[in-house]
Structure 1
Amino acid sequence: MTRPENKDKMPVLMIKRLLPLLILVVGLLVVYSFGWHEFLSFSALQENREVLDGFVRERGLIAVLAFIGLYTVVVAFSIPGGSFLTIAGGFLFGSLLGGSYAIMAATLGSTLVFLAAKSAFRDFFHKRAKGYLRAMEAGFHENELSYLLVLRLVPLFPFWLVNLVPAFVGVSLRNYVVATFIGIIPGTFVYASVGNGLDALFRSGGTPDLGIILKPEVLLPILGLALLSLIPVVYKKFYKEKRT
């Protein structure tokens, strides 16, 4: 029998669990209500490139922190614009530094989403997972890092979706952070290298090709890395079958 004091505590615990996710949802609504997401465009970057370039030269550290902060917020609030910001990072800071800042910010923003979703919905989905879903969850846990690396490396699923799903199946925070950090490295530096040549592209009146990640010469090496990350899964399965 549930004690009265426990019943009183339940709404408070529910609010605490949902609060981080509610903050992210409200933030997303505010961004779209004020139209701030429209500033994440190449036309806006082209119009303000001289101002931004001067700001980076004169206020280097502040510019880096502002970029990382903005990128983190965009990812945490699931605002479309991660690819644009990665290209902008390459444009403002160069391929190596811009890509590195983007990786740090994307990992931090993704982790915030993961923690908020895990706090709000993990128990709800776990209690209702039965049969095939429970077996799939158990299988995922046996090779968390490998599966997460594949999800991050292969650009088949939306970035925001890959941020959320691991939280629902109870992936560990350590594996999530490691897989996110490593898995986004190849694609991030591809886009940052595009940004590094953006000034010449603007002068010629062209626009960046966001589909570059799907070109065979770029996609095939990434798919190769994804296959390599599945080697532990294949080995475990082969080892188990050999023992039985």
Structure 2
Amino acid sequence: MVWLVFNVHLPSPAELEREIDGFGWGAWLVFIGIYAVVALTPIPVTVMAVSGGLLFGAALGSLLSVIGVLLGCWGGYWLARALGTDLVRRVLGSHADTVESYLAGAGFEAVVVLRLMPGIPYWPVNYGSGAFGIDHRAYLAASVLSVIPGQISLVALGAFVANATWYNGLTVGLAWATVIVLTILASRRWRTAARENKNSQDPEPT
């Protein structure tokens, strides 16, 4: 993954548009495949989501981006399960303890919050969830719930850049408002779940 970051050039949105358009009817599948691979690595997924809006518009771009990023997240989870906790800890480096502490005891809520928060990459959440024992069903449900508004907000930005209509502008505003509201609600549930888990683990007073 480190080698990929420093040696693989991810095309700009304009370059991606030219390359993917050349596949004709298969452009949808190519885009989903590229997005899934990017989501498996530490490469930020933002450029792919924005490119989805430039290429396919807000509605179709959001659908394809959500499918692609969920496939990549799901693959990262199972890859971490296969690699084992020790190896994933080395991959996460100094962030391993932080990721584990965030996910411990409030897996569903933590995944939702970490997915929604702008600036937090997906890959530590993917690998941390797989390595630190987050239940697969909880991880997948949390990912689906939180990925959709986040991806729509980014795809809508790309669509607005390509075509600055009131519809695309409204989509951007509504998507980001949804992300903010869900982040606040999920953060509160996360803190509550983590506190309840801590209290349940504390020894009873004698």
Q: Answer yes or no: same fold by TM over 0.5.
A: yes
Query: Which residue number corresponds to residue 115 of structure 2?
Result: 152
**Which amino acid letter does the alignment assign opposite residue 66 of structure 1?**
V
Query: Which residue number corresponds to residue 100 of structure 1?
Result: 63
CA distance in 2, matches of 1:170, 1:234: 16
CA distance in 2, matches of 1:138, 1:198: 39
TM-superposition CA deviations, 1:110-165 (whole Å, max 9, x none): 11111111221237789xxxxxx9xx979956432122212212235322111122
The CA RMSD over aligned residues, in Å, is 4.0
1:105-124 paired onto structure 2 within 5 Å: 105-122=68-85
CA contact (8 A) 1:150 1:229 kept: no
Query: Which residue number corresponds to residue 93 of structure 2?
Result: none
Q: For residues 67 and 119 of structure 1, do their structure 2 counterparts lie closer, same or farther at Cα, with a shift above 3 Å needed?
A: same
Are residues 1:69 and 2:27 paired?
A: no
CA contact (8 A) 1:122 1:168 kept: yes
CA contact (8 A) 1:153 1:225 kept: no
CA distance in 1, matches of 2:196, 2:116: 21
Are residues 1:166 and 2:129 paired?
A: yes
CA distance in 2, matches of 1:142, 1:178: 16
Normalization by structure 2: what TM-score? 0.69
Where 2:84 maps in the other structure, the secondary structure is: helix
Note the residue ranges of structure 1 that are not aligned, 5 or more in a row.
1-24, 127-132, 202-211
Normalization by structure 1: what TM-score? 0.60
**Larger Rg, first or second structure (1 or 2):** 1
TM-superposition CA deviations, 1:75-108 (whole Å, max 9, x none): 123333x111111111222212211211111111
CA distance in 2, matches of 1:157, 1:31: 17
**Which amino acid letter does the alignment assign opposite residue 29 of structure 1?**
W
Are residues 1:220 and 2:180 paired?
A: yes
| Counterpart among 34, 42, 59 of residue 13 in structure 2 | 42
The alignment-based identity, stated in percent, is 25
Where 1:155 maps in the other structure, the secondary structure is: coil
Runs of 4+ displaced beyond 6 Å? 123-126, 136-139
CA contact (8 A) 2:35 2:69 kept: yes
| Counterpart among 169, 177, 180 of residue 143 in structure 2 | 180
1:191 Cα deviation after fit: 0.9
CA distance in 2, matches of 1:223, 1:30: 31
Note the residue ranges of structure 2 that are not aligned, 5 or more in a row.
90-95, 165-171
**Which amino acid letter does the alignment assign opposite residue 78 of structure 1?**
P
